[in-house]
Structure 1
């Protein structure tokens, strides 16, 4: 079974997201393993580098994919593909919604805790639990996109 152009673009987006997310995660873990005093400038710089890398790699990969002769690339999306996209968006939306609620609850709990109260004995969890809300929301967004891409591919492969 050959892949359609739209399915290939979803694969590219998923793989780029997973590769950059794993790099970002390993760099964050290294930053947070230092202890509760994580340098906000270092986290911001890392986040900026990852966002720029994501945009550049996505654009380049999709441009390379578009250069190939693609059967059906210029055809409008059919009803089946639209259904796959809507179902996948629903999974991504639920992941994003739950993640945002968890971030808000975490922020409310952090405000209730006394200064320096530990979330766990593990320095990574201490630092990440007390990390800026913006960073947590970016991670939740990224996870929701990975869930959305994965669900989209699942529906393509399942074919219903």
Structure 2
């Protein structure tokens, strides 16, 4: 990433510190395990993203509308990331279901998994909503505990 155009803001969240990056046009990355370092440089995209993420974690937001601008990713990866954005809040899809939707054939689930793992904008591009064929949690760049926390957040409080 070009250091002269990279801006970032720090956010405390229920899944730990997040660093949200922007190029001034769109969100380019979200990092887990971030620490406040005093080097934050704000812009309108970051302000909107941080605000929307706070609302999401407070249970007040189910969709994001900040502009996205990932700086990496092949055309295939970007097509998978776009499909991730179509998984509704509070729902999940399997790698196989996404592969079928993208017409990838019998080995497409692995390709979807690989692209999912490379998602540079987790949470906003909801890769945590993808689960294994048998309904179990599988791989997440932020760790399975974070994935479970995000899914639990989206399920809302238990009635009993």
Q: TM-score range by the shorter chain?
A: under 0.3
TM-score (norm 2): 0.25
Which is bigger in relative contact order (C-alpha 8 A, separation at least 6)? Answer: 1
Select the structure that is richer in helix: 1
Between structure 1 and structure 2, the one with the greater Rg is 1
TM-score (norm 1): 0.25
